[in-house]
Structure 1
Amino acid sequence: MRRVASGLVALAAVATFTACSTSTPTTTPQKPAAPRGAEYLVFYAEGQQRQAREAVERAGGTTMGGDARLGYLTASGSGGFLEAVGADRAIIGVSPDRSIGFATNRVIAPEGRTGAKSSTAGSPDAGSFTKNRAGEPLAGRQWDMRMIGAERANAKAPGTKQVLVGVIDTGVDGKHPDIAPNFNRELSRNFVTDKPKDENGEMLDGPCEASGCKDPVDEDDDGHGTHVASTIASPINGIGIAGVAPNVQIVNIRAGQDSGFFFLKPSLDALTYAADIGVDVVNMSYYVDPWLFNCKANKGDTKKQQLEQQAIITGMQRALDYARQHGVTLISALGNESIDLGSPKVDKASPGYPAGEKKVRQIDNSCIDVPAESGGVISVSALGPSGRKAIYSDYGVEQTDLAAPGGDALDGKGAKATRSILAAAPERVLRAAGRIDEKGEPRGADVVKDCTAGPCSYYQYLDGTSMAAPHATGVAAILISRFGKPGKGGLDLSPATVEDLLYKTATQKACPTPRKYVYKTYGETVTQDCEGDQADNGFFGHGVVNAWNAATVEP
């Protein structure tokens, strides 16, 4: 189950879940030999491209292309190719490049990897946060926006269309009435090819809905990316809700499968594309599959598994560095495993792909979540409506940079959907998951329908650090709108400056008293210790993001 990529449905907050470049490759593609084996990404040491090609040949493989910017070759090989090429001194890591399969029937379970449960047991009274105010029809339900001052900030500094926000996720429903006005279809890209089945023949994405198994850039068959985009930039248009920065543009840069998996190659392509087109800030509410934690040399892993994790660590860091060097501010969800990332002990979720390959392995702080713990990334923990750290949110004094509302259905007596984050949801996804009936009516308090103006639109309450990160991304977009200088096609503000301003405008929040949280829920006891001081601690980082401060701070 995904930990970051898919938000947690409101009534299951303690469960855990996962969620074509225009760039020209800088190595010359070669025609592969036939027949061709499995395909791999082969990462080489700096200046070792020629040696890497020779290593591929010695291992019996064929070089097909690659990207010199990120220092890797794409290659095909069979048999023991991966281990053979990985043994060469020029090679840093080797990862499979997942290929497409085929299926004949699409089966959509009512409870998928997004955690969108069909049961309404314990459905709350939805009136907890529904007191109306002037503004968007569903604004009264947006406790999250009030927590960070976004409602006031909307009027003073709503952002500008010159700012491009990249949503690296499962896609964005660009036709949703509360996203369409700010959706940039021209720049949006899909770097994912749907995989109907995994390598073991188990259902994954299901049958392809589009020619070539490549979904259009304005579709989201999971719903996760749409929720994220809505929190960042749903416009003020008399429909549904408003986002943190309701005037900025959303660019869908899809790297996630329909099923919620995020593999390495699409993530690399998404980051380099964002850099090349001048995106100002990207939201990454996911981790790179199949490893929850990536360890370079874990004794419990095979050599093949070690090489794959080394490739993920190295490749993503190079792509993140490339993006940051090109002016992209990088924001990530921290994770939903209730883990102190500074002292992880056990990983029970890896490898999460293909199905049936998970194992229990002992880990330590040398193992990292990617991209949340990668260099240059601003990572965000989640808060419930009371302001406490959400039960499920990961934490860590070295890992938590900021905190933001992410929802916590259990933050109070009983479980209530309205304690979660409300944002846009694709109608087709809700219908397929059984969350709305044949007449289009919601089947539980986790889904809200708005027909105030024109065609009806749908919204869903979700929990997760996936929901927290886009609040920080929206605040970053406000800051870039205010302080960015005219640049290539828009505004430029260095990621270092954006980071400093995010910390400067955040509301500092000290560890709770006592510092130890003890949660008792669903028959389990969870203990979490908060380390650090008010200025920087493991639960809240440098503080809770504050849109109003971002809208009013002096340079």
Structure 2
Amino acid sequence: MRRGSSRLARAAVAVAAGLAVTVASVGATGVAPVGGASGEAQARRPYLVFYADGARAEAERAVREAGGALRAQGGDPRLGYVVADGAGGFARALSGSDAVVGVSSNRRIGTARGIRAASVARAVPAVDKDLAGHADLTGAIGSAPEPLADRQWDMKMIGATAEKSYAGAPGDKRVLVGVIDTGVDGKHPDIAPNFNRELSRNFVVDKPTDPNGEKLDGACEHTGCKDPVDVDDDGHGTHVASTIASPINGLGVAGVAPRVTIVNVRAGQDSGLFFLKPSLDALTYAADAGIDVVNMSYYIDPWLFNCEDNPADSPEERLEQRGIIVGMQRALDYARGKGVTLISAIGNGATDLGNPERDATSPDYPLGKERTRKIDNSCLNVPAESKGVISVSAVGPDKVKTGYSDYGIEQTDLTAPGGDATDGDATKGILAAAPENVVRAQGLVGADGMPKSSSVVRDCKGATCAYYQYLQGTSMAAPHATGVAAILISRFGRGGQGAKGGADGLTMDPAEVQRLLYQTAVPLACPVPRRHSYQNQSHECEGDSVRNGFYGRGLVDAANAATVKP
């Protein structure tokens, strides 16, 4: 099967949901909607029109012949697309042109739902726990664990501890890790020391409601409905960033690579939607800004699976799905060609991606349009199945693939701790930083500042207090792999293009990073029997201990990455 896309949307896994991303809309990235007094003008909207190699002129001609109007700005020759305004039937008219390989509209088409690892809070009884008052443990790397280290079973599993990887390979600040997600709380006390605000970018504009007036992102808090680059109103991106690189500072937790630099490259809406255009912009920016590795815990909507030629879909729908597949692959290729290692969550749909049979959640935008359609192995989950992307499945504390995690012998590259709280024990999730505004909005923190649920923990160092949350999902697994990649780049990367084209950064061939990730992973064999039973389902593991559909090449290991020889 061709590696194509992965529906990794940052989605919340309340216990076992499916991954989801959203297809970017042109409007969401600042392209003004077409206005006008006539009904025809009001019906027009912008589209991303992807053209075949060397066929831009022909594609532009096809756009005009279809009644569309090309925009002078918004396209990107690096990725081979133009932006055009078109009315109803525009995409169908373009479907007959050999010069056009995909068309995606600017509708809000998707919701990220499986990967965002649900706040296990809803399934866990509330338990207040005051963890304030820890002693100041700041010191040399490896001298002492962080205050909440005993809760980080995930870090112990992969050897990211004071006694192992931290002691010799905590990471290098010159390594830039891009978090393509819902944003990063750059002011969080356990992220701020490693957060680069200057390099961070936000490629989305908040949308209070959808076209039908239903709440999406909610009220705008900032001018122009664009959040600052150090804001995360969802919490998903902050959790991911913390797992990768929370510093060793005597407060809370430490990430896999506690000395590398976090850069927020935001492509997700507050509501968890991930549109195509912001994702394209995020990847090209990461490539040109000297980012070394990106974490993508999401998938592009509105299609959980993107099928190029599914008889169950209309010509317009097929063209839209081709646009997602082609557009993302071009952006991923561009980034990888500039030295960006690409890591993605595999998805939370509990699906064998090598043998999918039906998709009951697409198209998930506009709301209420979902239908059940038959699909097959030609349909792709983006970006998890895209070429050049390292896809990561999730295991629980028992090192067994979780029931919610997608899998597949051709799709799974590595595995990592993602959490498994299906029994209601929140502490079996992954603990990482949470924005205070988010946990308060979720009702998980009381007026006195104390947690109201065992899914949230507060830690204080002196007068500084911070919040942490247990989440689960392949969204939580991927950043463990990203952190290990950052360790490898810190150790073996060479001087090269740094931030803004400077020569103070480190760079490493993504193919070499991938090779060492595989080499340092701890092989995990398929369970016995191969068909493993979960609460209400069973999954069959194909392959052997060298590579299989549950664990790929094995469990990522920071301690091995800290000591491996090139």
Q: Scaled by the length of structure 2, what TM-score is found?
A: 0.88
Deviation at 1:195, TM superposition (A): 1.3
Task: Find the residue that maps to 1:150 and give its secondary structure.
Answer: coil
What amino acid sits opposite 1:6 in the alignment?
R
Corresponding residue for residue 507 of structure 2: 492
1:443 paired with 2:452, answer yes
Corresponding residue for residue 178 of structure 2: 166
With over 3 angstroms needed to count, the CA separation of the structure-2 counterparts of 1:386 and 1:117, relative to structure 1, is: closer
Q: Scaled by the length of structure 1, what TM-score is found?
A: 0.90
Conserved in 2, the CA contact under 8 Å of 1:17 and 1:115?
no
Task: Find the residue that maps to 1:449 and give its secondary structure.
Answer: strand
What amino acid sits opposite 1:163 in the alignment?
V
Task: Find the residue that maps to 2:495 and give its secondary structure.
Answer: strand
Deviation at 1:79, TM superposition (A): 2.3
Deviation at 1:119, TM superposition (A): 3.6
Identity of matched residues, %? 63
Corresponding residue for residue 252 of structure 2: 240
Give the paired residue count. Answer: 521
What does 1:77-476 correspond to in 2, within 5 Å? 77-98=86-107, 115-116=118-119, 119=122, 121-122=124-125, 134-151=144-161, 152-410=164-422, 414-476=423-485
2:9 to 1, 5, 11: 5
Conserved in 2, the CA contact under 8 Å of 1:397 and 1:532?
yes
Corresponding residue for residue 54 of structure 1: 61
Alpha-carbon distance in 2 for matches of 1:340, 1:501: 26
Task: Find the residue that maps to 2:216 and give its secondary structure.
Answer: coil
With over 3 angstroms needed to count, the CA separation of the structure-2 counterparts of 1:514 and 1:126, relative to structure 1, is: farther
Alpha-carbon distance in 2 for matches of 1:31, 1:336: 34
With over 3 angstroms needed to count, the CA separation of the structure-2 counterparts of 1:33 and 1:143, relative to structure 1, is: closer
Conserved in 1, the CA contact under 8 Å of 2:125 and 2:453?
no
Q: Deviations over 1:210-252 (max 9, x none)?
A: 1111110000010000000000000000010000000000000
Task: Find the residue that maps to 1:173 and give its secondary structure.
Answer: coil
Corresponding residue for residue 478 of structure 1: 487
Q: Deviations over 1:240-281 (max 9, x none)?
A: 000000000000000001000101000000000000001000
Alpha-carbon distance in 1 for matches of 2:264, 2:32: 30
Conserved in 2, the CA contact under 8 Å of 1:382 and 1:405?
yes
What amino acid sits opposite 1:502 in the alignment?
L
> What are structure 1's unaligned runs of at least 5 residues?
20-28, 101-111
Deviation at 1:83, TM superposition (A): 1.2
What amino acid sits opposite 1:43 in the alignment?
F
Corresponding residue for residue 77 of structure 2: 68
Conserved in 1, the CA contact under 8 Å of 2:123 and 2:424?
no
Task: Find the residue that maps to 1:393 and give its secondary structure.
Answer: coil
Conserved in 1, the CA contact under 8 Å of 2:18 and 2:349?
yes
Corresponding residue for residue 45 of structure 2: 38
With over 3 angstroms needed to count, the CA separation of the structure-2 counterparts of 1:153 and 1:76, relative to structure 1, is: same
With over 3 angstroms needed to count, the CA separation of the structure-2 counterparts of 1:48 and 1:436, relative to structure 1, is: same
What amino acid sits opposite 1:148 in the alignment?
I
Alpha-carbon distance in 2 for matches of 1:161, 1:347: 42
Alpha-carbon distance in 1 for matches of 2:309, 2:7: 23
What amino acid sits opposite 1:501 in the alignment?
L
What amino acid sits opposite 2:335 in the alignment?
A
Alpha-carbon distance in 1 for matches of 2:404, 2:412: 14
Task: Find the residue that maps to 1:73 and give its secondary structure.
Answer: strand
1:549 to 535, 538, 560: 560
Alpha-carbon distance in 2 for matches of 1:113, 1:433: 15
Deviation at 1:354, TM superposition (A): 1.7
Q: Deviations over 1:101-120 (max 9, x none)?
A: xxxxxxxxxxx976336645
Task: Find the residue that maps to 1:253 and give its secondary structure.
Answer: strand
Conserved in 2, the CA contact under 8 Å of 1:124 and 1:417?
no
Conserved in 1, the CA contact under 8 Å of 2:124 and 2:424?
no
Q: Deviations over 1:481-519 (max 9, x none)?
A: 000010012111000000000000000111011111111
Alpha-carbon distance in 2 for matches of 1:453, 1:254: 32
2:516 to 487, 496, 501: 501
Which structure ranks higher in relative contact order (CA pairs < 8 Å, sequence separation ≥ 6)?
2
Conserved in 2, the CA contact under 8 Å of 1:6 and 1:115?
no
Task: Find the residue that maps to 1:451 and give its secondary structure.
Answer: strand
With over 3 angstroms needed to count, the CA separation of the structure-2 counterparts of 1:126 and 1:498, relative to structure 1, is: farther
Corresponding residue for residue 26 of structure 2: none
Conserved in 2, the CA contact under 8 Å of 1:123 and 1:415?
no
Alpha-carbon distance in 2 for matches of 1:435, 1:245: 29
Task: Find the residue that maps to 2:506 and give its secondary structure.
Answer: strand
Alpha-carbon distance in 2 for matches of 1:113, 1:241: 20
Q: Deviations over 1:428-487 (max 9, x none)?
A: 011111111111111110000001343210000000000000000000000000000100
CA-based RMSD of the aligned residues comes to 2.3
With over 3 angstroms needed to count, the CA separation of the structure-2 counterparts of 1:327 and 1:3, relative to structure 1, is: closer
Alpha-carbon distance in 2 for matches of 1:69, 1:453: 50
Alpha-carbon distance in 2 for matches of 1:89, 1:13: 44
Alpha-carbon distance in 1 for matches of 2:146, 2:231: 24
Alpha-carbon distance in 2 for matches of 1:350, 1:73: 26
Task: Find the residue that maps to 1:550 and give its secondary structure.
Answer: helix
With over 3 angstroms needed to count, the CA separation of the structure-2 counterparts of 1:384 and 1:126, relative to structure 1, is: farther
Task: Find the residue that maps to 1:236 and give its secondary structure.
Answer: coil
With over 3 angstroms needed to count, the CA separation of the structure-2 counterparts of 1:519 and 1:39, relative to structure 1, is: same
Deviation at 1:199, TM superposition (A): 2.2
With over 3 angstroms needed to count, the CA separation of the structure-2 counterparts of 1:6 and 1:30, relative to structure 1, is: closer
Deviation at 1:157, TM superposition (A): 0.3
